[in-house]
């Protein structure tokens, strides 16, 4: 029997840290003895636990401790992190430490250095001289970089749940299902975004095709005009659907004004051709060819636009980043100073963006498919809210709640 002693600190009970740690231990067939436990007497107080963990093999114990550290467990004997040299550009040394999206510290020369940015699925590159630790993706690493290996000297500080009960993001399970009321949540999201803007926070919107196709764009434009969106992420197809409506009155050949669907993909291709001929969206706006739509409003209001490509794209239009690695670099850069993200009707872009976010960023995910919402919310369980609903009426109601909170409350009266 091999054993090690770990310690937990913080809101370890109501943030579910202690139960999760014990759950991992039992699930993996290991044993534990709680050597000491001190639980905070009040909401704001910190708790503490020291636990001896035992497993049958040294390997099993190591793997277990690795998991426990991701829940914030520290091994008691403090030691410096071990470093190894990256053998080449884009290649990590064997046994490199893989980050979670939790705040992470690495112990170098007896000092704890915070890894920045907090970003999941990265390695940690250390510059001991400068006392800097960076989370690095494969495309960041250069041969010769010093990379953390093993799990010694790493401390993870898991997100602690807010203890304020006015906070929208405090609940464990924050998906509002198809059969649950959403009006109240949407008003609370409006209030949250208003607080965020007042405090100088930056808000990103990530939009799937449903936004342009369902006619939800007009509400997104209104949010942009009201100053609620600072970054806009979407794909080539969505940008073109938006331009198609501005140029030809349709999106994927379908007009929002006619009662029922028409047909056809030609306008989509013609819109691409127009934008290619003019040199892109910015040029089309400047030349007054593109005079409405989400992209037009973004450019008018100075919103940063990030357009990325996929293998399903026609075109693409100028301005789309067609290399997926280059696209990730741009996305990461444009997300560094964002405080809130709206993920609207897209699994592909939402997961790509969510994987680049620090754990402090709050996300609101809206999709009509329950499986899509569940998949995305899973990435950041403490700071995300999922709504299973149609994205067009969601944006309409959010817009009303922001533009005129009193009228939104009194919407029954409006109807009469």
Subset of 20-49 contacting its own copies (CB under 8 A) = 22-23, 26-29, 31-34, 37, 39-43
Q: Write down the least CB distance from residue 77 to its own copies, Å.
A: 22
Please tell me the distance from the alpha carbon of residue 183 to that of residue 345, in angstroms, as a whole number: 19
Least distance between its own copies and beta carbon 200 (Å) = 24
- Whether residue 366 contacts residue 185, with contact meaning beta carbons closer than 8 Å, is answered with no
Is residue 153 within the footprint of its own copies (CB under 8 A)? no
Task: Work out whether 121 is an interface residue with its own copies (CB under 8 A).
Answer: yes
User: In this chain, which of 9, 368, 381, 405 binds its own copies, going by CB under 8 A?
Assistant: 368
**Rounded to an integer, what is the distance from CA 240 to the centroid of its chain?**
25
How many Cβ atoms sit within 10 Å of the Cβ of residue 345? 28
Q: What is the DSSP letter of 37?
A: E
- According to the binding rule CB under 8 A, does residue 16 interact with its own copies? yes
By CB under 8 A, tell whether 371 contacts its own copies. yes
Classified as helix, coil or strand, 29 is: coil
Q: Output the CA–CA distances (angstroms, integers) from residue 95 to 85, 148, 187, 333, in the order listed.
A: 11, 9, 47, 28
Per CB under 8 A, the list member of 168, 283, 289, 305 interacting with its own copies is 168
List the interface residues with its own copies, window 173-232 (CB under 8 A).
173-174, 176, 178-185, 187-188, 209-210, 213-215, 218-219, 222
Q: Please provide the DSSP assignment of 106-118 as one string.
A: EEETTEEEEEES-
Positions 52 through 81 that interact with its own copies (CB under 8 A): 67
Distance from the Cα of residue 72 to its chain's centroid: 21
By CB under 8 A, the residues from 250 to 279 that bind its own copies are 251, 254-261, 263-266, 268-270, 272-273, 276-277
Contacts of 3 (CB under 8 A, 6+ apart): 52, 53, 54, 55, 61
Q: For its own copies, what does the binding mask look like between residues 278 and 307, x meaning CB under 8 A?
A: ------------------------------
Stretch that binds its own copies, among 128-136, 152-160, 193-201, 351-359 (CB under 8 A): 351-359
DSSP class of 88? B
Query: By CB under 8 A, is residue 355 in contact with its own copies?
Result: yes
């Amino acid at each position: 029997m091999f054993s090690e002693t770990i310690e937990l600190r913080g809101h370890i009970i109501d943030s579910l840290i202690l139960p999760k740690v014990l759950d991992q231990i039992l699930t993996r067939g290991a044993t534990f003895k709680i050597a000491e436990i001190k639980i905070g007497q009040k909401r704001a107080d910190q708790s503490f636990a020291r636990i001896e963990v035992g497993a049958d093999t040294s390997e099993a114990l190591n793997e277990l401790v690795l998991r426990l550290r991701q829940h914030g467990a520290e091994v008691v004997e403090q030691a410096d992190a071990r470093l190894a040299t990256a053998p080449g550009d884009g290649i990590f040394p064997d046994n490199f430490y893989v980050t979670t999206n939790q705040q992470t510290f690495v112990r170098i020369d007896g000092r704890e250095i915070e890894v920045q940015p907090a970003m999941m699925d990265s390695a940690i590159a250390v510059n001991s001289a400068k006392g800097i630790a960076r989370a690095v993706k494969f495309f960041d690493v250069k041969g010769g970089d010093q990379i953390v290996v093993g799990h010694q000297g790493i401390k993870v500080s898991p997100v602690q749940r807010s203890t304020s009960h006015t906070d929208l993001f405090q609940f464990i399970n924050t998906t509002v299902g198809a059969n649950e009321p959403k009006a109240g949540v949407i008003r609370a999201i409006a209030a949250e975004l208003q607080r965020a803007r007042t405090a100088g926070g930056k808000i990103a919107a990530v939009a799937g095709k449903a936004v342009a196709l369902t006619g939800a764009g007009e509400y997104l434009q209104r949010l942009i005009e009201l100053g609620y969106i600072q970054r806009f992420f979407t794909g080539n197809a969505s940008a073109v659907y938006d331009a198609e409506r501005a140029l030809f009155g349709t999106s994927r050949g379908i007009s929002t004004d006619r009662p029922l669907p028409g047909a056809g993909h030609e306008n989509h291709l013609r819109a691409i051709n127009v934008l290619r001929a003019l040199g892109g969206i910015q040029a089309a706006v400047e030349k007054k060819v593109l005079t409405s739509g989400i992209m037009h409003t973004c450019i008018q209001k100075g919103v940063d636009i990030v357009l990325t490509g996929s293998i399903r794209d026609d075109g693409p239009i100028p301005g789309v980043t067609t290399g997926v690695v280059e696209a990730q670099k741009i996305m990461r850069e444009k997300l560094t100073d964002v405080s809130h993200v709206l993920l609207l009707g897209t699994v592909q872009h939402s997961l790509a963006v969510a994987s680049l976010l620090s754990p402090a960023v709050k996300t609101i995910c809206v999709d009509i498919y329950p499986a899509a919402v569940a998949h995305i919310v899973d990435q950041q369980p403490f700071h995300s809210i999922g709504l299973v609903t149609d994205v067009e009426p969601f944006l309409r109601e959010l817009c009303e709640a922001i533009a005129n909170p009193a009228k939104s409350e009194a919407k029954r009266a409006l109807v009469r």
